[in-house]
Amino acid sequence: MRIFDKEQKLIKIICNQCGTSEDVDGGLMKKEFVSVEKEWGYFSDKDTQIHRFDLCEACYDRLVAGFCYPVELERRLEL
């Protein structure tokens, strides 16, 4: 969940699963979150709905641990 100030500037991200939060200070965060946005369509039961949520890394790890198939992993080489 994302919290914005009056100027629509992102100021905080809260994990929808566990509630842990991180203040966004000048665009910098010390924790990372997974952000999901899904616009549901005609063939779903949620047609016209847009769902958004954020998960902290620990909740992401718990979610993907339950997958039948592991996430696809690629390592990015950084300079």
Residue type, 4: F
- Pick 43 or 67: Cβ nearer Zn ion: 67
> Is there binding between residue 36 and Zn ion (CB under 5 A)?
no
- Pick 13 or 56: Cβ nearer Zn ion: 56
CA angle 36, 71, 10 (to 5 degrees): 25
Give the nearest distance from C-beta 12 to Zn ion in angstroms.
14
> Is there binding between residue 21 and Zn ion (CB under 5 A)?
no
> Residues near 71 by Cβ (< 8 Å), separated by ≥ 6?
64
> Is there binding between residue 13 and Zn ion (CB under 5 A)?
no
Using the 8-state DSSP alphabet, how is residue 27 labeled? T
